[in-house]
């Protein structure tokens, strides 16, 4: 599961970017994405992609796995590019590079920042109901994934996928229905737990993301360098 993979990278990473404040990483990502959006040439986008690749290597992330995750959303941009512009043309390549760099920026962010810290930061700008839902979903999804994996294993052991394609689909549909029922039950129990613990419409979080540390300087230098490169190239 990709969420678990990136969560593990963010929590267990020990690089300078992992140690930087959430705010600085968020600003860095926002600046990079804006540079990608305003870029009108392939040279700028190639520079940004190379910078991101070097950064991935510097903070010791598995570059192959990161790139594979970045290529997945490019299917949709590829469809858009070939339907709107001539295939293999300059504009099509520009769209693909923009997509790749933008997705890579977000992947670097979530690989170096735990989801809980991101939700804490977003909680100061978004309605509490949205950030609370994100936090509860984040806490629950790993439980549901584990349950689904356990049930799939049990079905395989008991021959649930034998007996032809139709029978396999029928059993798998029943399994999904069971997981949905479990998710509803889990959400109700989570709600009651929050109410017992004093939940009043908002999960409060600290403001540790505002704390400045020396690792933030690197993030800001990279952001400023990217802006200058986009302007000069």
pLDDT tens-digit profile of 188-216?
Answer: 777 777 778 776 666 655 555 566 677 77
Q: Are 209 and 21 in contact (CB under 8 A)?
A: yes
Express each pLDDT in 59-103 by its tens digit: 888 988 898 888 888 878 888 877 877 777 788 888 888 889 999
pLDDT of residue 4: 76
Under DSSP, the state recorded for 206 is -
Task: With CA atoms as reference, report the closest residue to 123 among 207, 181, 229.
Answer: 207
**Res 5 pLDDT > 60:** yes
Percent of the chain at pLDDT exceeding 90: 4
* Residue in the structure block whose two tokens are 């290529």: 71
Token couple for 187: 């959400």
Express each pLDDT in 118-176 by its tens digit: 877 777 777 777 777 777 777 677 777 777 888 888 888 877 777 777 777 888 888 88
pTM of the model: 0.72
Q: What is the mean pLDDT of residues 103-109?
A: 91
Percent of the chain at pLDDT exceeding 70: 92
- Distinct helix (H) and strand (E) counts, the chain: 11, 0
Q: Where are the domains of the chain?
A: 2-113+209-232, 121-197
pLDDT of residue 201: 63
Phi, psi of 213 (to 5 degrees): -135, 170
Q: What is the mean pLDDT of the chain?
A: 80
Q: Can you tell me the distance from the alpha carbon of 123 to that of 69, in angstroms, rounded to the nearest whole number?
A: 27
């Amino acid at each position: 599961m990709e969420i678990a993979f990136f969560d593990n990278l963010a929590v267990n990473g020990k690089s300078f970017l992992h140690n930087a404040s959430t705010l600085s990483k968020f600003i860095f990502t926002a600046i990079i994405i804006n540079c990608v959006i305003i870029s009108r040439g392939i040279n700028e986008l190639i520079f940004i992609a190379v910078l991101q690749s070097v950064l991935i290597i510097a903070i010791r992330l598995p570059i192959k796995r990161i790139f594979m995750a970045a290529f997945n959303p490019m299917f949709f941009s590829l469809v858009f590019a070939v339907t709107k512009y001539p295939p293999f043309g300059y504009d099509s390549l520009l769209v693909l590079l923009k997509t790749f760099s933008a997705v890579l920026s977000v992947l670097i962010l979530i690989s170096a920042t735990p989801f809980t810290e991101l939700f804490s930061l977003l909680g100061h700008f978004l309605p509490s109901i949205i950030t609370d839902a994100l936090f509860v979903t984040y806490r629950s999804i790993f439980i549901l994934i584990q349950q689904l994996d356990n049930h799939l294993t049990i079905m395989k052991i008991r021959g649930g996928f034998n007996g032809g394609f139709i029978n396999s689909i029928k059993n798998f549909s029943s399994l999904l229905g069971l997981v949905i029922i479990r998710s509803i039950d889990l959400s109700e129990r989570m709600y009651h737990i929050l109410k017992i613990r004093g939940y009043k419409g908002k999960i409060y979080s600290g403001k540790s993301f505002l704390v400045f540390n020396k690792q933030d300087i690197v993030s800001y230098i990279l952001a400023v360098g990217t802006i200058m490169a986009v302007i000069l190239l």
